[in-house]
Amino acid sequence: MTLAQRKWTRVLHIAKRQCGLDDEARRALLWGAAGVGSSSDISTWKQYDDCLTAFKKLGFKVQSKAGGKSRLKETGPQQGRPERMISSRQEYYIRGLWYLASRAKDEASLRRMVKRIGGVDGIQWLTREGARKVILALRDIAWKAGYNPDRPPDRETDKEEG
């Protein structure tokens, strides 16, 4: 379990206590919100955000340890991700470069590369700095494979000259 998943589990258990739910009600809420039976089964930011939203509808208030304001920000264009995490545009760009230039175009090989360069288990766990490193590595792969990562490939000629 990653550090983020442990934090999510802690926050959801605090939310359960604040809302006065028993284990059965909490599991039902998690299943309805994210399709998981336990908070330890949550693996994506979207699932966590959906569960947190459901708890907020029951009256849960997110507070930081410092008290007062919540550190969670609304980041519309990033689909609810924290500001320091990979943006949806970066993820889209990474996946596009990967499927353009890699020899093995499957998700498992992408995860292995992200683990090797970014140091995390999945693309959704990359920080912006880690995403930048992965993008630079993928741009090198694209150039070596004969693609220009700065322009879309032509339909007739997939590879760029030079």
Q: What is the pLDDT of residues 135-144, one digit of tens each?
A: 999 999 888 8
Residue 90 lies in a domain: yes
Give the Cα-Cα-Cα angle 110, 34, 119 (nearest 5 degrees): 30
**Which sign, positive or negative, has the C-alpha torsion 123, 128, 133, 137?**
positive
Is the domain of 82 the same as that of 34?
A: no
Q: Which amino acid is at 38?
A: S
For residues 15 and 5, the model is more confident at 15
78 pLDDT more than 90: no
Instruction: Answer whether residue 68 is part of any domain.
Output: no
Count of the separate structural domains present in the chain:
2
List of E strands, the chain: none
In a shared domain, residues 84 and 159: yes
Are 145 and 101 in contact by the 8 Å Cβ rule? The answer is: yes
Q: Are residues 41 and 83 in the same domain?
A: no
Are residues 20 and 53 located together in one domain of the fold?
A: yes
Reported as a single tens digit per residue, the pLDDT across 87-116 is 888 888 898 888 888 888 888 889 999 999
User: Residue 18 CB: number of other CB atoms within 10 A?
Assistant: 15
| Residues 145 and 95 reside in one and the same domain | yes
Query: Rounded to whole angstroms, how far apart are CA atoms 145 and 151?
Result: 14
What are phi and psi for residue 59, nearest 5 degrees? Answer: 110, 5
Q: Do 88 and 155 lie in a common domain? A: yes
- On whether residue 50 sits in a domain, the answer given is yes
Q: Are residues 100 and 143 in the same domain?
A: yes
Domain identity same for 56 and 112: no
Domain range enclosing 57: 3-63
Is 16 contained in some domain?
yes
Query: pTM for the complete prediction?
Result: 0.47
* 69 is a domain residue: no
For residue 124, give the DSSP letter.
Answer: G
Q: Do 118 and 84 share a structural domain?
A: yes
Q: What share of the chain is helix, strand, coil (3-state, %, to 5)?
A: 60, 0, 40
Q: How confident is the model at residue 11 (pLDDT cuts 50, 70, 90)?
A: confident
Tell me phi and psi for residue 128, to 5 degrees.
-60, -40
Position 70 in a domain: no
Check whether residue 80 and residue 157 sit in a common domain: yes
For CA atoms 130, 136, 137, 139, the dihedral sign is: positive
